[in-house]
Structure 1
Amino acid sequence: MPKRKSSEVDSAETILVKKGEDDDSKGERKSDEKEDSPTSSKTTDSIRSHVAMPSPMVCYAIRLGPGEEIHSTLMKFVKDNDLDAAFVMTCVGSITKGTIRLANADRNHQNEIISLNERFEIVSLVGSLSDGGHLHICLSDKDGKCVGGHVVGGLEVFTTAEIVIGQLSSVVFKRQFDDRTGFDELVVKPRNG
């Protein structure tokens, strides 16, 4: 793993997990942060802010055609292929409709959900797919104006959706409730065996 200059290290705790360590490992602390800081973990059940684990990967390229729904098709692909550390590497294409959740929420206020019913170019689709997934999308309209947010569903392909999915082979993705955010968040664990 490349070394970073001390000025490049952010203030949050970084945990490095060595290959072969079990799930109960606390990893190796890589910051000068004190144990009682707001971002440090006080219990073994809390989610670590940063986990860095190198992993080889396998890639899958798929194309969806007109009328296919992107989100449910991707989730089915992940399930059918037993992918447990899958993510979207890239996606280009277009949609005719979809539902997204905007980024205006916190643990005490719900997000606004909007339904889109016009043709959009997919500018970006990113996120994890395993254990329920977490996808974000950016779309541009006929004038090039963009809208984006969390994918709720209903992303119906207009002409095509060309998607590359990555699957990491040394880790597993899980989602776990994080009391700090009020949401289920990604937990990356080493693959056993």
Structure 2
Amino acid sequence: MAAPMHAGGDSVDSFSSPMNCIVLRLGPGQEIVTSLKQLVNQNNIQAAFIITCVGSVTNVKLRMADSVSIVDFTGHYEIVSLVGTLSCTGFHLHGSFSDASGKVIGGHVVSDLKVYTTAEIVIGECTKLKFDRTYDEQSGYKELSISSK
């Protein structure tokens, strides 16, 4: 059973768990967020995170740092970074994408990450933990809640 661990100084809960690796390769036209949701739901994954993702996309829909604006980008983009937490109860993904001139865009991934050539994704599953999303009055969003299975 994974037990909370405490960091030095102020008490901060953290959790430890063994990890299972899942590798996913998506091809042209597949949508990354939809594919991740399908994988998580079909395998009843309770607590996971993206270790790495490389590839390219033709569409990107991001919520920007103002937490309000949602912007659609169309074109050819290299996936520079895709990170986040995944579970059956919700996702939180951020990404960075570079265009043909090397200009980078990034933000909170909403959807529409349509694969151009490939997306190679390595996912770490925390086998003894459960991630939930619970409303946080301070942020106004559903935030990560961690518990032991």
Asked if structure 2 preserves the Cα contact closer than 8 Å seen for 1:97 and 1:154, the reply is yes
Structure 1 unaligned blocks of 5 or more? 1-17, 22-26, 34-49, 106-110
TM-score by length of 1: 0.72
Identical-residue share of aligned pairs (%): 44
Q: Give 1:20 shift.
A: 5.5
What are the ranges of 5 or more consecutive residues in structure 2 without an aligned counterpart?
A: none
TM-score, normalised via structure 2 length: 0.92
Which residue in 2 is equivalent to 1:15? none
Structure 1 residue 152 and structure 2 residue 114: aligned?
no
| Between structures 1 and 2, the one with greater strand share | 2
1:132 maps to 2:110: no
Higher relative contact order, structure no. (Cα contacts within 8 Å, ≥ 6 residues apart):
2
Hey, what's the Cα distance between the residues in 1 that align with 2:65 and 2:16?
A: 30
SS of 2:35's equivalent in the other structure is: helix
Contact 1:51–1:188, Cα closer than 8 Å, also in 2: no
Q: How does 1:53-92 map to 2 (within 5 A)?
A: 53-92=15-54
Larger Rg: 1
How many residue pairs are counted as aligned between the two chains? 148
Are the equivalent residues in 1 in contact too, given 2:49–2:85 (CA < 8 A)? yes
Shift of 1:32: 5.0
Q: Deviations over 1:141-173 (max 9, x none)?
A: 001010001111011000000000110012110
Q: Structure 1 residue 31 and structure 2 residue 3: aligned? A: no
Show the counterpart of 1:163.
Answer: 121
Verify: 1:113 aligned to 2:91, yes or no. no
Shift of 1:31: 3.1
